[in-house]
Amino acid sequence: MKKKYILPILFVALTGTTAMAQDQTAKGFAFAAKQTDLMLKEVAEAKKTAKPDMASPRSLEKGELVLVPSKDWCSGFFPGELWFLYQYTEDPKWMTEAKAYTANIEQEKTNGGTHDMGFKVYSSVGNGYKLTKDPHYKEVLLEAAKTLATRFNPTVGCIKSWDNRKNWKFPVIIDNMLNLELLFEASKLSGDKTFYNIAVSHANTTMKNHFREDNSSFHVIDYDPETGKVLHKQTHQGYADGSAWARGQAWGLYGYTMCYRETKDKAYLQQAEKIAKFIFSNPNLPKDLVPYWDYNDPAIPNAPRDASAAAVTASALYELSTYSANGATYKSLADKIVKNLTDSYQAKPGEAKGYILLHSTGNKPANGEIDAPISYADYYYLEALLRQKGGVKYQ
């Protein structure tokens, strides 16, 4: 008998019904537009004294804007936000800005030294292609997918995440699940099943090795590239190897929901539902559903939150709600997350150099971007708002 992963009634009651949830889309995008106008001015000012290759804003450090080059894994998120603003408002000024910032990322299509091709190129060029069908963007996406595919090891069954790491031979991180969307798209655009097959192999191998019995995920699995054997299981950006790093759980939820969309393999839908069950049954999940940076940090409740994990989770839940028998529950949970992010985690108008959300955690073990605004939090928040409104076609 197949297991059904149904969330406890307690959590359905906690969130209320979908009908009672307030639609935050208009409110969220109105605020985002004003903040992004400010961000564009701040970026222009910062570039006057920055290195010439700086492409996108990533975060704040000591109140100052942090810009990053196109090779940074976060470079594609701000262009993606601009595309989201254009999609929602249909104001051509956002398209103009989106094209300009996207152009700065396109060179990454041949950067084979990273697995972050989806984060960089698909979040920027991919969103541009969805809205414009520009054949140039199609060419960039296909080149980027070809480059990403060179990192696939058929013996391991996965795409390698990081290079030049002394502690690992063939590290694969849970984040890598989101880069598979580029491969699925490339398969559809080209008719070449190679991209599809690589994505499926990676998803299957990750599902086999990354998850614990309680459905939480490790961050890093290190493989022997010669044999495919698992060498180490770690949680590099979490509290401990055995802990549940919050954003890692969100990446898994988002990734397997997307994989179900692209393949209709029910194993992926079940995996997404199991991850959702872990998150929303977790006793350390706060009542506002914005998680602490790691579910097992012993400092809870005095540990940093991670609004980015909440935003990724909300966006994933909206899509998952369209596939699952628990759809009403998932949408209700997403509505509550979005409402709480909108009401309690936004920057003050005209502050934070134009970022939208505060209180994210980037890499706490490395003391990086703790309780800070980060570009990917804003990106997935806006995507969640579009999905709340029904403004995203998943196929």
Beta-bridge partners for 230:
223
Q: Which residues contact 20 (CB under 8 A, 6 or more apart)?
A: none
Given 175, 222, 297, 335, the catalytic residue? 175
Backbone Cα Rg of the chain: 20
The annotation status of 94 as a binding-site residue, yes or no, is no
Beta-bridge partners for 305:
292
Calpha distance 115→120 (Å, rounded) = 10
Q: Which residues contact 252 (CB under 8 A, 6 or more apart)?
A: 174, 177, 210, 211, 217, 271, 272, 275
Given 72, 116, 222, 306, the catalytic residue? 116
The annotation status of 251 as a binding-site residue, yes or no, is yes
In degrees to the nearest 10, what's the CA dihedral of 317, 320, 325, 327?
40
**Residue 251 near residue 312 (C-beta atoms within 8 A):** yes
Alpha-carbon distances of 297 from 213, 278, 290, 294, 315, rounded to whole Å: 19, 16, 15, 6, 25
Distance, CA of 101 to chain centre: 19
The annotation status of 293 as a binding-site residue, yes or no, is no
Whether 241 is catalytic is no
The annotation status of 165 as a binding-site residue, yes or no, is no
Whether 116 is catalytic is yes
* Euclidean distance between the first and the last CA atom of the chain, given in angstroms as a whole number: 30
**Residue 269 near residue 323 (C-beta atoms within 8 A):** yes
With tokens 């029904």, the residue in question is 390
The annotation status of 247 as a binding-site residue, yes or no, is yes
Going by the annotation, the residues of the binding site are 116, 175, 235, 247, 251
Which residue numbers are catalytic?
116, 175
Going by the annotation, the residues of the binding site for substrate are 116, 175, 235, 247, 251
